[in-house]
Structure 1
Amino acid sequence: MKVRLLTAIVLLGAVVFAGSNWPDLLRPVVKTTDGEEHIAGQLIIELVPEMRGRVQVSEQDGIALFGIPGLDELNRKWGVSLIAPLWRRPTVDPIAQKYGCDLQYLIQFDVNQDVMPVAADYQNRAEVAYAVPNGYMRFDEVPNDPEYGRQWHYVNLGAAVAWGVAKGRTRVVNCVLDDGLDLFHPDIEANLWINTPEDVNGNGRFDTLPYPDGDLDGIDQDMNGYADDVVGWDFVTGDPIPMPYQTDEHGTHCWGITNAVTNNGVGVAGTTWNSRSMALRCGQGGGISIYAAIGAIYYLVPMNAWSISMSFGSATPYQPMADACRYAWESGLVLFGSAGNDGAEVMRYPACYEGVENVAASGRNDTKASWSNYGTWVDVTAPGEGIYSTVPRLVGSYASLDGTSMSCPLAAGVACWIKCYDTTISNATCIQMLHDACDSMPDPLYAQG
C-alpha cells in the first residue's frame, strides 16, 4: 500500500521501533506431509520455570545465545541467528508467570533447515519445557459477491432492539487478531482505540509522521515494550503502523463487523455501536503465525482489552498458543475462535482451546452454512454468509464475504455489547449470558447451535 511504503521510508532514518530482535515472519510457509503449515526455520520454545531470570541474550560470531550453556551448545549446532522473546513487557504479572509466558522464545535459523530435528534436539534438553514449529494458521474466509446480503445479519440478531437498550462505551476495548486494517478508512478511524501516553501531540488520533509533526518519536512513553503504539502494533514487521499488505482485506473486514463506526451516515454499522478497537497485524497473504498471535495477546491483555476475535486456525494444537489463551481468559478477557470452513465435523484451534468460544456459521434461515464446520465442541453459531463490511479503500472500501471468519467477530461484537450494557460483568458471566440469549437452531448438525 502506497501510504504504508511512504511512511516507512520517512521513518527509516528517524525512528527505531522493535530493534534487531524481531523475527522474519515473511519467510516461506512450509507444508508438512500431514498438511500442517509452519514458518520456515523458526521454533517456539518454552523454558522450564527454573530458567526464569537466567536468560541473558547475546550474540557471538553471528550466533544468538541464551547465556545457558546447554542451550547455547544447540544454538551453535543449528546456527541460531536470532532469539526473540514473546513477552516483551518489562514486568510479568502472576498469571503470565503461571503459564510461563515470560519463558517463551522464538529461535530463528537457516530457512532451508527442516525444523523437526531441531525441535527434537531442544525438546530433549532439561532446560526446555517444549519446542514446537512457529505454526501458520489460515484465515477461515470464503470470498463472495460484494453486493450480496448487505447487513441482513443484524435483523437475525435483533440488533436494533439491543441498540435501543445500550450502545457502545469507549472504555470497552475489543481486539481482532488478523492481517491488519485500513487505519484511515472513514468507517474505522473514529473507533480506533488510542493509547493516550503515546499520542504525544494529544489530538486523539494517530498521526504517522515523526514528532513534532506526528506521534512517532521513537520513545516508549508508557514503558510497555512497544514504542509509539498509538493505536496498536504490527506483529509481522515490528512497528506501530499495522496497515494491511497491498490487497489483504480479511482483517479490515473482520474489524468492521465488530466495530465499524455506527450512526455516522457512512457505509456500514458495527455490532457494538461505537466501542473502541485496537489495531493489530499478525499476518498477511491468507494467514498468521502463532508467534505474532501470541505476541499480540501478551500485548493487549495488560492494556485492559475486553475481547479477542481469532478468525484463523489449524487442526494442530500448539501449546504456547493454548497457554496464551488461558492467560487471557484468567486475566478476565473473552476469546472467540472460528470453527473453520471444511464443512466437516473436525476440531480446529484456537477455537477448541480452553477458554475460547468456538463459533460456527449460519445462513439467512438460521441453519448451518454448508461449508461451516460443526460438532459438539461448537459453543455458539452466528451469521456468516454474505456478511457486508469494510475492506481497505484500495480494494473498494466495502465488500461481502462468507466464512466462520465473519461469524467470529460478530459473536465477539455481541460480547462487547454485553460489556457495554454492564461494565461490571465478568467474562464467565458474559459468556453465560451470551449462551442464554441464543435461540435453538433447527439443524441436527449443530448440537450446540
Structure 2
Amino acid sequence: PDVGLVSAHSADGAEFVPSEVLVKSTLPLPPAAEAAVLRLAGGVVIEHNPTLGLYRLRLPAEIDVQQASALYSELPWVEYAEPNYIVRAAIVPDDPFYPTKQAWYYDAINAPAAWDIERGRSSIIVAVLDTGLQLDHPDLEAKVWINAREVLGNDIDDDKNGCIDDVHGCDFVVLPPSSDPSDDHGHGTMVAGILAARSNNDLGVAGTAWGVTLLPVKVLDSTGAGTASDVAQGIIYAAKSGAQIINLSMARPSPSRALEGAVKEAHDTFGAILVGASGNEGQEGVGYPAAYPGVIAVSSFDQADPDTRAPFSNWGPEVNVAAPGVAVFSTYLHGGYATGEGTSFGTAFVSGLIALLLSQDSSRSDDDIRALLRISADDLPDGDTSY
C-alpha cells in the first residue's frame, strides 16, 4: 500500500506502519503454531517469506504495535518481533544532454576513460529496488531484464523467486505481489538511467554501465515511501532472480532487523553485492540499510569541489565511497528527463561502476570490489570521516 501519508511514530521518532508487526521465527512454523500466532493479540498473517522465516502480521487497530512486538518477542520460537518500519527514497528533488548536463560528474569520476575499457555486459544483472521503472522509456526499454525461467500467463511462480509471471520484475508494494513494476513516482526511473541508460544512440542521456541488464523491483510507493517488509522481500527476490548487484537508493534513520536479515541472506548466501545510500539529512550518521556491514555505503560530493561533501549528504565512518549527487540529470517518467540531487544518485553511480568491474571479471567478490573502490578513489587526507 501507499504508506507516505499513513504512518505512526515511536517515542524515539521511528516511523512505522500502524497495526503491522514483523515476526521472525527460528523454525518453520507447523500449522498449530501458526494458528496460535493468528490468535495472539488478534494478529492475522498477511505475508510470509519462508527464506527469511519472516511473518508480516496485521493487528486490530486498537492494539499498540510496540506492546504487541514485545509480546511476540517473548515466544520461545521467535527470534525477534518489531514494527514494520518505513523506508524512504534518498532524494532531494530539484526542479542530446551529455555535454551540457552530464559531463561534469562523469569527468569527475573519470567515466570516459573507463568506457574505453569496459561499457558493461548484459550478463551482469543490477536490481534496482525503488519506486519501479518506466519500462518503455526510450533510453531504458532495451535494458530491462527478461525472465526466461517464467512462463507468462500461467499464474505459477515457475522459478520460485517469490513473484508470479514476473517477466520484467516485480512489485512488492501491492498484496499479493504484482508482475508489473511500473514507476508511479519517478525516482526509480532516474536511478535506472544513471545506472544503465542507453548511450551512443543519439538520444537523451548516458548511463554509467550502459551494457548491463536492469531488474526493476518496486518496493517504494507513489510517494517514495515503503516498508521494511517490502524492501526485505525485494532484496530476497532480487538475489533469487540472479542479480549480482542490488541497488538500494533509500534510507531510514534507525535499524530494522528484517532489513538486516535480508541483507545478510542476500550477501552471505547468494553472494550479491549490495549498495546503499547514506541518507540526505546532512548530518553524521549513515542511514539503513547502508549502515549494515554487508552494504557498500555511498555519500555524495559537491559539484563545485569533489573533495567537499554535498551539504545534504549524511556522513560517518560507515561510508565506503562518495560519488556525484548534485545536479544529476537522468531519465524520468513519460519518456522525459529531469534533474535531481541526493545520495540516491551517488549510489546509482557506484552500482554502475561495480557493474563495469564485474563485466571485466564476474568472479570478483564483494571484498575484491571494495578493495578496487578504495584504491581507485581519491583518498582524502587524515582518514577523513566527514563523508
- The C-alpha deviation readout for 1:61-95, integer Å capped at 9, x for no partner, is xxxxxx21xx64453242223341124xxxxxxxx
Contact 1:45–1:130 (CA under 8 A) maintained in structure 2: yes
Alignment partner, residue 6 of structure 1: none
Within 5 A, what are the aligned runs for 1:356-435?
356-364=295-303, 365-366=305-306, 367-393=308-334, 397-435=336-374
TM (normalized to structure 1)?
0.79
Instruction: State how far apart, in whole Å, the 2-side matches of 1:276 and 1:408 are.
Output: 17
Alignment partner, residue 197 of structure 1: 149
1:298 aligns with 2:229: no
Instruction: State how far apart, in whole Å, the 1-side matches of 2:66 and 2:295 are.
Output: 28
Following TM superposition, by how much is the alpha carbon of 1:112 offset from its aligned partner in structure 2, in angstroms? 5.1
Change in 2 beyond 3 A, CA 1:390/1:113? farther
Alignment partner, residue 263 of structure 1: 200
Alignment partner, residue 101 of structure 2: 150
Instruction: State how far apart, in whole Å, the 2-side matches of 1:298 and 1:277 are.
Output: 16
Gaps of 5+ in 2: none
Q: Percent identity, aligned pairs only?
A: 32
Q: Which moved more, 1:268-277 or 1:219-228?
A: 219-228
- The C-alpha deviation readout for 1:122-160, integer Å capped at 9, x for no partner, is 011112110011110122111114x99721211111111
Contact 1:167–1:421 (CA under 8 A) maintained in structure 2: no
Contact 2:2–2:225 (CA under 8 A) maintained in structure 1: no
SS of structure 2 residue aligned to 1:129: strand
Change in 2 beyond 3 A, CA 1:111/1:281? farther
| Paired amino acid for 1:190 | A
- The C-alpha deviation readout for 1:350-398, integer Å capped at 9, x for no partner, is 11101111111001220110111112221100010011011111xx611
1:335 aligns with 2:285: no
Gaps of 5+ in 1: 1-23, 57-66, 88-100, 201-214
Contact 1:74–1:121 (CA under 8 A) maintained in structure 2: no
| Paired amino acid for 2:157 | D
Tell me the matched-pair count.
377
Change in 2 beyond 3 A, CA 1:309/1:334? same
Contact 1:40–1:112 (CA under 8 A) maintained in structure 2: no
- The C-alpha deviation readout for 1:196-241, integer Å capped at 9, x for no partner, is 132x5xxxxxxxxxxxxxx434233334342211011001111100
| Paired amino acid for 1:81 | V
Alignment partner, residue 79 of structure 2: 129
Change in 2 beyond 3 A, CA 1:225/1:335? closer
1:317 aligns with 2:255: yes
Instruction: State how far apart, in whole Å, the 2-side matches of 1:278 and 1:402 are.
Output: 23
Pick from 62, 69, 81 the counterpart of residue 44 of structure 2.
Answer: 81
SS of structure 2 residue aligned to 1:165: coil
SS of structure 1 residue aligned to 2:338: strand
Instruction: State how far apart, in whole Å, the 1-side matches of 2:73 and 2:52 are.
Output: 18
Change in 2 beyond 3 A, CA 1:138/1:162? same
Q: Which moved more, 1:405-414 or 1:31-40?
A: 31-40
Following TM superposition, by how much is the alpha carbon of 1:102 offset from its aligned partner in structure 2, in angstroms? 3.6
Change in 2 beyond 3 A, CA 1:445/1:288? farther
Structure 1 runs of 4+ off > 6 angstroms?
none
Contact 2:22–2:81 (CA under 8 A) maintained in structure 1: yes
Change in 2 beyond 3 A, CA 1:111/1:240? farther
Change in 2 beyond 3 A, CA 1:412/1:448? farther
Pick from 41, 49, 55 the counterpart of residue 30 of structure 2.
Answer: 55
Contact 1:375–1:445 (CA under 8 A) maintained in structure 2: no
SS of structure 1 residue aligned to 2:116: helix
Alignment partner, residue 32 of structure 1: 10
| Paired amino acid for 2:8 | V
Instruction: State how far apart, in whole Å, the 2-side matches of 1:445 and 1:341 are.
Output: 22
SS of structure 1 residue aligned to 2:149: helix
Report the aligned-residue RMSD: 2.1
SS of structure 1 residue aligned to 2:319: coil
